[in-house]
Structure 1
Amino acid sequence: MITAERFYRHPLGILAASGLATLLWGSSYPFIKWSYSSLDIGRTDTFEQLLFAGYRFTLAGLLILLFMLARRERLAYQPGSLRILAPIALFQTVLQYICFYAGMALSSGVIGAVIAGTISFFQIALAHFVYRDDRLNGTKAAGLLIGFSGLAVLGFSNAAHTGGPIFSVGEILLMASSFFSAAANLISRRGASAYSVTYLNGYQMLLGGVALMLISGWKSGFAPFAFDGKSSLMLLHLALVSAVAFMLWNNVMKYNAVGSVSMYLFLIPVFGVLQSALLLGEQLHLSVLAALLLVSLGIVVVNRKKSSAAFKQTSESTGLAK
């Protein structure tokens, strides 16, 4: 019998779960843009953007709790868990998506997708200070340099074309979102040793989603949108993206070293850029492609040796590779 642990530790299980999670995350860029257009949410309608995010994560949390109910998992609050749920909700939902939704309104889908690749770099850098077995070395440092040079290419290209600053406010907000996401991933990994992934994700998204609605609702009202069938399906898709992708990714994080799985995050900018170009019709300029290549290469390089060793160790320990 293949248990959840054996699946998420096996190289093919890691690839399948990480691939599906990053594919779903990549789809969020065009779907957020579509949602803004469908609901008439403008670039400067910050409170409406945050309210829509609150809808999304509240619904995602409820979907996870329904999934737990269907599996007859324990739904009751577990004493002491608020100490881990609160910081995860703060970093992974509230802070990350305040920056993300505001940044996406001020940037294109392809740019947002490229910047999302920095989650891996922030995660590797933060893991150096949190985990003794995930220290930076020469290979990781080279990967970080390559990856962040991709952002430099993007920034200097923008400055050359617009005559403005290297990075716009929207791009800075998206970088901040990536940082908060990386920090939340590490907190979630630590919390997963004591609580189930479904429990952590369900309640942190519910807490974070309600917090976002309270933060924004006092200014925009709690029901300013005129939802139709199309926009409702978009909201449902985004909620499912959050519920499914976070559960898959946090299970991968739970059973594997951070450094051995972070390389798969390079698929987020790849999938995000491709889906934004195909679904939104956004142009892929040479600078965007160069930045995407460097960011993706940096993510692969920063984990190259670690992932190879983890693949061998996992195959030997599970016996499933035979």
Structure 2
Amino acid sequence: MGSSRFSDPKVVVAVALLCCLLWGSSYPAIKSGYAWFGIAADDVPTKLVFAGWRFLWAGLVLLVLALATRKSIWGLGKSTARELVVLGLAQTTLQYVFFYIGLAYTTGVKGSIMNATGTFFSVLLAHWIYHNDRLSHAKLWGCLVGFAGVMVVNLGQGSFDLDFTLLGEGCVVIAAFVLAAASIYGKQVSQRMDSVVMTGWQLAIGGAALLAIGWASGGALTGFTVASTLLLVYLALLSSAAFSLWSLLLKHNRVSQITVFNFTVPIFGAVLSAIFLGEVLLEWKNLLALVLVCCGIWLVTRDTPAATPASLDK
């Protein structure tokens, strides 16, 4: 599939949903990984080590793939190297540090809902950064309807109250903002280099930093078996595929057109958790959430024509 195809509306929808399906599959995979590796719910350092291995391997897979397809991964220049370090430390390391700290001090339900604010941040930041990606009534309503779907899918899964703490919900919101800002920064970087090489380096750098922070904080990943190792390999491969494809979508399309698909991640997560973890799926809230998310995506994308690379300037 050529790079130009990533601006075709049908390809955009198919690839974006594939990425979100892969990320949704990480929900049951990570839950299983914590159990198989014996990671306690409040053991944030070991969770960072777990994530570090996942993203380091994911980055290395993409860099090896780049080399195999005769793409240059070395000699990119000091300026580009600095950009890759900033991107890796922000999009992978900083975002996950804030995310895991936040989840340690809030419920999974509230964390999932707060994390969905990243889509709003992406649309708002794009409004101020790109002249051709302004916030419209359709986009605003699309985000609100999609966010409502995320809230609906979490109804009944745990407690939800109006308490807000900086270490809990605050850190999750900060993580969502960091990811949104880093994704837009990555879009800028991808205009000047190959998206696969960029994604490979940012994942590898970010994963290595997560490993260092986790080890320095006393984390240690044990319990390696054939099953647990294969699960970690799967998580690395899905990250390689999803992040590289997502970077290509952002490179060739408007930010708001792509990020709204993030609302489908909790839906895919709920479906796959029901399949692999035996959680309840056929409930009214899941069907209503799916309808709301689809309506939100339609509202954002209905009047957003596919953008060519030449039209993506500031």
TM range (shorter): 0.7 to 0.9
Distance 1:185 1:62, change over 3 A: same
When residues 114 and 162 of structure 1 are mapped into structure 2, their CA distance, relative to the original with a 3 A threshold, is closer
Deviation at 1:230, TM superposition (A): 0.9
Structure 1 residue 269 corresponds to structure 2 residue 266: yes
Give the deviation of 1:180 after TM superposition: 2.4
Q: For 1:183 and 1:116, how far apart are their aligned partners in 2?
A: 14
Which residue matches 2:311?
none
- Once the 2 structures are TM-superposed, how far is the Cα of residue 97 of structure 1 from its aligned partner? 1.7
Residue 189 of structure 1: how far off its partner (Å): 0.8
Q: Aligned residues: percent identity?
A: 37
Number of residue equivalences: 304
Tell me if structure 1 keeps the 8 A contact 2:119–2:143. Answer: no
- What's the counterpart of residue 70 of structure 2? 72
Structure 2 match to 1:140:
139
- 1:250 matched residue in structure 2: 247
Q: CA deviation at 1:69?
A: 1.4
- Further displaced range: 283-292 or 124-133: 283-292
TM-score by length of 1: 0.82
Unaligned runs of at least 5 residues, structure 1:
315-322
Structure 1 residues 19 and 251 mapped into 2: Cα distance closer, same or farther (>3 Å)?
same
Deviations 1:274-296 (A, max 9, x none): 11222222345666665565455
Tell me if the contact between 1:56 and 1:235 (Cα under 8 Å) persists in the aligned partners. yes
8 A contact 2:50–2:221 mirrored in 1: no
- Candidates 16, 19, 28, aligned match of 2:14: 16
1:238 partnered with 2:235: yes
1:162–1:58 CA distance, 2 compared to 1 (3 A): closer
CA distance in 2: counterparts of 1:302 and 1:296, whole angstroms: 10
Quote the Cα distance in structure 1 between the aligned partners of 2:278 and 2:164.
23
Which residue of structure 1 aligns with residue 198 of structure 2?
A: 200
How far off its partner does 1:258 sit?
Answer: 1.7
Distance 1:55 1:114, change over 3 A: same
Pairing of 1:21-32 with structure 2 (within 5 A): 21-32=19-30
1-structure distance, mates of 2:145, 2:238: 29
Displacement after TM superposition at 1:191 (Å):
0.5
The amino acid across from 1:131 in the alignment is Y
Verify the 8 A CA contact 1:113 1:270 in the aligned structure 2: no
Deviation of 1:249 (Å): 0.9
Structure 2 residue runs without a partner (length 5+)? 309-314
Classify 1:74/1:240 alpha carbon distance in 2 versus 1 (closer, same or farther; 3 Å): same
Residues 178-200 of structure 1 deviation map (CA, whole Å, 9 limit, x = unaligned): 33222222111111111111121
Deviation at 1:259, TM superposition (A): 2.7
Q: Taking structure 2 as the reference length, what is the TM-score of the superposition?
A: 0.84
* Residues 48, 220 of structure 1: 8 Å contact kept: yes
- The equivalent residue for 1:60 is 58
The Cα of 1:77 is off from its aligned counterpart by 3.7
